[in-house]
A and B are shown apart, each in its own frame.
Chain A
Amino acid sequence: MNAGGPVLEMRGVRKAFPGVVALDGVDLTLHAGDVHMLLGENGAGKSTLMKILSGAYRKDAGEIRIDGQVVDIGSPRDALALGIRVIYQELNLVPHLSVAENIFLGAMPTRWAGVVDWRSLYERASHVLGDLGLDASTLHARTPVSRLGMAQRQMVEIAKALAASAPTTLFELRRGLAVALRAKADEASARQALKVLVMDEPTSSLTSREVTQLFSLIERLTARGVAIVYITHRLDEVFRIGRRVTVLRDGRHVTTRLLSDVSVPELVRLMANRDLSEHFPKSRAARGPELLRVEHVSRGGALSDISLSLHAGEVLGIAGLVGAGRTELARVIAGADRCDNGRLFVDGGEVRLRGPADAIRRGIGLLPEDRKAQGLVPGLTVARNVALPHGRRLARLGVLTRRCEAALAAPIADELRVKATETQTVRLLSGGNQQKVVLGKWLAGDVRIFIFDEPTRGIDVGAKVEIYNLMNRLTARGAGIIMISSELPELLGMSDRILVMHRGRIQAEIDAAGATEERVLRAALGLERPALSDAAGAGGGEGPGGAEG
């Protein structure tokens, strides 16, 4: 290893997906023994960058060097061979196998003909665990993973990342028949020592004591010279264990600093600040009577004590980071999931939603976050997708005529300017047009309460503007819209009022007129105390119960 030089350098990395540039000229430099924090809003490009590093995606342009050598990472295999490991937020363990088996999954010590050498397996697993300072009372090699808590599972993942570097010599590899059958090229890529470990939100499901345990583990790793990329939304952790920080915004590299040189407000500003050149065609509608009121709704660990209200003519924005509970809230209001307790009122009357059908009958329509998985039947035509929620109303004695479906869909397709005929299969449409078809399902009915969950995700700019215009027309007609979005400019540009969620709660209610990206982001990161948030509300936009408690 070249002493002092960076372990990993990524230079000018670019990655584009159809219709969107996810990364543009991003740099990242890692030094041995560093904990490098990677920060950015949702969609800033953190995950894409890490997927390029781990071989899940191929970069379009740029250069990656390991120990000063230019390398080509074409597959996850290549990344492993270079000593790069990623621990994802949703852990990848086999629950019914033991800790030791999970640690050595894919590289089990064998005798001959692929028979597992159990004694050696457990010995080596205990050795790896011991290396990490974990004694058998904390984590026993023979325990099945299904019996472990989240923190212990995380430890297994770390041990697994480390173990792949444990001395598995070529001689050992050749012994197993199964291994011997593998191609020669494979031997060359025999696993390399752990150099770079990427951890994506590792503390999201840990208690504070477990976090301390995790951090001491991380220190042990850095003491061995491992470089760690740490992705998180929790700023306190950034300063607790990080040494350097890189901030990404909209797929671009903003800055890389030593954490000793920056402050919390500065970091937030770096994450949020952007030129507000994007223009939103927001038109304000007259605020009408209350359409929907949610009181003290809780659901499992995802939502706690949520209260909000939505008026006719209003766009209520909901901000928050991934996992803050926004989608869960949308699904409860749309009747897709039940809440444990709490009450819902539509037009002032209490309603109990036993399923989506009940919500639709009350005039609530959900535009789900994942339109392909939840919004559309891809094999059906445009007209049939639009008519899907209205079958009972359209049919006479259960018989649907082609004419009535087409008659329903045609004006909708006109209004949305879907560039497709009603008889076209939805699968073949572009993302923007598919989204319009999902919208069309609710426009065709008597829906007055629209819940838009990430309505413009993955669609092109032209279609976005059309959706914004449609939102204006809907509010002008007296509908109310709840818009969940991870794009702050859109949220600020189109909402009348913004609720910010943080860990299942409403952290702040902000009037859109007085909102800045920085302020919303501070609340989303949990930095703004709920009690303080009302003070800056510019009046006129407070619903009952929004931010109290």
Chain B
Amino acid sequence: MIAARQFGTVIGLAALCLVLWILTPYFLTVSNLLNIAEQTSINAIVAVGMTFVILSGGIDLSVGSIVALSGVVLGTALQGGQPIPVALLLALLVGLASGLVNGALISWGGLPPFIVTLGTMSIARGAALLYTEGRPVSGFDASFRVLATGRVGFIPAPVIAMVLVYLVAHFALTRTTFGRYVYAIGGNEEATRLSGVAIRFHKTMIYGVSGLMSAAAAIILTARLNSAQPIAGMMYELDAIAATVIGGTSLMGGEGSLGGTLVGALIMGVLRNGLNLLGVSSFLQQIVIGGVIVVAVLLDTVLKRKNRT
């Protein structure tokens, strides 16, 4: 089931690459492809958390703001002379905690995920601005930049990080009880509850994962920019939702996969890169990307309807 659906998105990605290769020969060079992978890594990692949340039937609008908040916590810690591992851990904890707060409000407070994360989107952004007084944080030790500029062989560090995150998350989603409950809760929450699964606990953890992924993305972003900005991560939630949905995950929950999300994130990255190479104006780019999202989901819906009946 999942494989068949991914197949469609993979073909879409391949077709897109083919067209861009014909239009601009530079597209299919190793350095450009690595460039795309590196640029995609941040959105792709945020989209991992988003996929967990959407699979469980929820939504997380606060990811972009959590990226900013964990980023400035990381930045100030580094600026204040903390060792790099301590600063990284702090950032991850802040992201995780923000996500757990989302999850707790949703499961124990009984509030709709849309409302809760809309609120924390504003709260986390405000907290990031307050914490930095609205100014970017910079002036880190040079060794920190290795997280963005370093390479293993010829592969950039952010791409390595992305691949690792996907491997671990994919394992969690497909091979652990936690992953199984993510699908089960999204597929039929009541039946899952009647099966004795602790719904509230697992829902809280799902949003925790999303917060943690936002923090991981914040680390890469901060290293790439060599500064932490309280206004970073604007609109990341929409990119992450788009990658997830293009990848074939149902917004109703219960169906989808991380493989699909990775392909979805790559489609968006390739599209942006290709349109830049072709010199398409950034205004037009937005229209094209929006169109791709709608068409991808439309195709998916049409195919699904065909399969069902």
Contact of A400 among B180, B195, B197 (CB under 8 A): B180
Pairwise interchain contact A400-B177, C-beta atoms closer than 8 A: yes
Q: Within residues 158 to 210 of chain B, which ones have a CB less than 8 A from any CB in chain A? A: 175-178, 180-181, 183-184, 187-188, 190-198
B188 touches A378 (CB 8 A): yes
Known: A334-B194, A356-B196, A368-B194. A376 touches B177 (CB 8 A): no
Contact (Cβ within 8 A) B194 A379? no
Q: Which residues of A contact B184 (CB under 8 A)?
A: 377, 380, 384, 388
Q: Are A388 and B195 in contact (CB under 8 A)?
A: yes
Q: Is B259 an interface residue (CB 8 A)?
A: no
Return chain B residues, CB-CB under 8 Å to A366: 194
Binds B, one of A391-399, A482-490, A539-547: A391-399
Does A360 lie within 8 Å of B196, measured CB to CB?
A: yes
One of B1, B180, B191, B255 near A373 (C-beta < 8 A): B191
Residues on A with C-beta less than 8 A from B192 are 377, 388
Docked pose: A374 CA to B190 CA in angstroms: 5
- B254 CB-CB contact with A under 8 Å: yes
Q: A193: CB under 8 A from chain B?
A: no
**Cα–Cα distance between A87 and B180 once the two chains are bound (Å):** 44
A 501-522 contacts with B by CB, 8 A: none
Task: Give A334-371 as 1s and 0s: 1 = Cβ < 8 Å from B's Cβ atoms.
Answer: 10100000000000000000011101110000101000
Interface size grouping (class) on chain A: 20 to 34
Residues of B within 8 A of A373 (CB): 188, 190-191
Q: Is the CB of A425 within 8 A of B1?
A: yes
The A/B interface has a contact count, at CB < 8 Å, of 83
Question: Is the beta-carbon distance between B194 and A356 smaller than 8 angstroms?
Answer: yes
Return A481 CB to nearest CB of chain B, in Å.
18
Complex contacts, B255 vs chain A, CB 8 Å: 379
Question: Which residue of the partner chain A has the closest CB to B183?
Answer: A380
Which residue of chain A has the shortest Cβ distance to B252 in the bound complex?
Answer: A379
CB within 8 Å for A377 and B196 given contacts A391-B180, A392-B177: no
* CB–CB B197/A376 < 8 A: no
Interface size on B, residues (CB 8 A): 22
- The answer to whether A395 touches B195 (Cβ under 8 A) is no
**Nearest Cβ in chain B — how far from A445, in angstroms?**
9
Interface residues of A in 326-340 (CB under 8 A from B): 334, 336
Residues 237-263 of A, flagged 1 when their CB comes within 8 A of B and 0 if not, give 000000000000000000000000000
Chain B nearest CB, measured from A429 CB (Å): 14
Query: Could you say which of A334, A377, A394 contacts B187, with CB atoms under 8 Å apart?
Result: A377
Contact of A398 with B196 at beta-carbon distance under 8 Å, contacts A376-B188, A377-B183, A379-B255 already known: no
Q: Complex formed: what's the CA distance from A389 to B195 in Å?
A: 5
Say how far A365's CB is from chain B's closest CB, in angstroms.
9
Contact B176 A374 (CB under 8 A): no
In the bound complex, do residue B175 and residue A401 qualify as a contact, i.e. CB atoms below 8 Å apart? yes
Given A357-B196, A357-B198, A388-B197, decide whether A399 and B176 contact each other with a Cβ distance below 8 A.
Answer: yes
A31 in the interface, Cβ–Cβ < 8 Å?
Answer: no
What residue of chain A has the Cβ atom nearest to residue B253's Cβ?
Answer: A379
Q: A21 to B196: give the CA distance in the assembly, Å.
A: 37
Instruction: Chain B residues near A368: list those with CB within 8 A.
Output: 191, 194
Q: Report the bound CA distance from A503 to B98 in whole Å.
A: 48
Contact in complex: A399, B175 (CB < 8 Å): yes
Interface assignment of A375: CB less than 8 Å from any CB of chain B: yes
Q: Which residue of B lies closest to A376 (CB)?
A: B191
Contact bitstring B227-253, A, C-beta under 8 A = 1, else 0: 000000000000000000000000000
Is B177 touching A375 in the complex (CB atoms < 8 A)? no
Expressed in whole angstroms, the Cα–Cα distance for A399 and B191 within the complex equals 22
Report which residue of B184, B191, B193 has the largest number of chain A beta carbons within 10 angstroms of its beta carbon: B191
Complex contact A379–B187 (CB within 8 A): yes
Are B187 and A374 in touch, CB under 8 angstroms? no
Complex-state Cα separation, A188 to B133, whole angstroms: 69
Cα separation A300 to B183 with both chains bound (whole Å)? 34
Q: What residues of chain B lie closer than 8 Å to A195, measured between beta carbons?
A: none
Judged by a CB distance under 8 angstroms, whether A191 is at the interface is: no
* Interface presence of A441 (CB below 8 A): yes
A28 to B181, CA, bound (A): 51
Partner pick for A398 among B1, B177, B188, B198, CB 8 A cutoff? B177
Nearest-neighbor residue (CB-CB) of A358 within chain B: B196
Give, as a whole number of angstroms, the nearest-CB distance from B246 to chain A. 19
Minimum CB–CB distance from B107 to chain A (whole Å) comes to 13
**How far does the Cβ of A166 sit from chain B's closest Cβ, in whole Å?**
41
A375 near B194 (CB under 8 angstroms)?
A: yes
Residues of A within 8 A of B190 (CB): 373-374
Residue ID in chain A nearest B2 by CB atoms = A379
A357 to chain B, nearest CB (A): 4
B307 — nearest CB in chain A belongs to which residue? A428
B231 to chain A minimum Cβ distance, whole angstroms, is 38
Q: Is the CB of A356 within 8 A of B195?
A: yes
B254 and A377 within 8 A (CB) = yes
Say yes or no: A379 contacts B183, CB within 8 Å.
Answer: yes
> B177, B181, B191, B254: which contacts A374 (Cβ < 8 A)?
B191
- Smallest distance from the beta carbon of B172 to chain A beta carbons, Å? 8
Q: Tell me if A398 and B197 are in contact (CB < 8 A).
A: no
Nearest Cβ in chain A — how far from B180, in angstroms? 6
User: Is A377 a contact partner of B198 (Cβ separation < 8 A)?
Assistant: no
Known interface pairs A373-B188, A379-B254; A395-B196 also in contact (CB < 8 Å): no
> Closest residue of chain B to A401, judged by CB?
B175
Report whether A400 and B176 are in contact in the complex, using a CB–CB cutoff of 8 Å.
yes
A387–B198 alpha-carbon span in the complex (Å): 15
| Smallest beta-carbon distance A435→chain B, Å | 13
15 inter-chain pairs at a CB distance below 8 angstroms, sorted by A residue, are A334-B194, A356-B194, A357-B197, A359-B196, A368-B191, A378-B188, A379-B254, A379-B255, A384-B180, A387-B180, A388-B180, A388-B197, A399-B176, A400-B176, A400-B180
Nearest first, the 9 closest Cβ-Cβ pairs linking A and B are: A377-B187, A357-B196, A391-B177, A360-B196, A389-B195, A388-B195, A379-B187, A377-B188, A379-B254
List 4 other contacts, CB 8 Å, given A380-B187, A384-B184, A400-B176: A336-B194, A360-B195, A388-B184, A391-B181
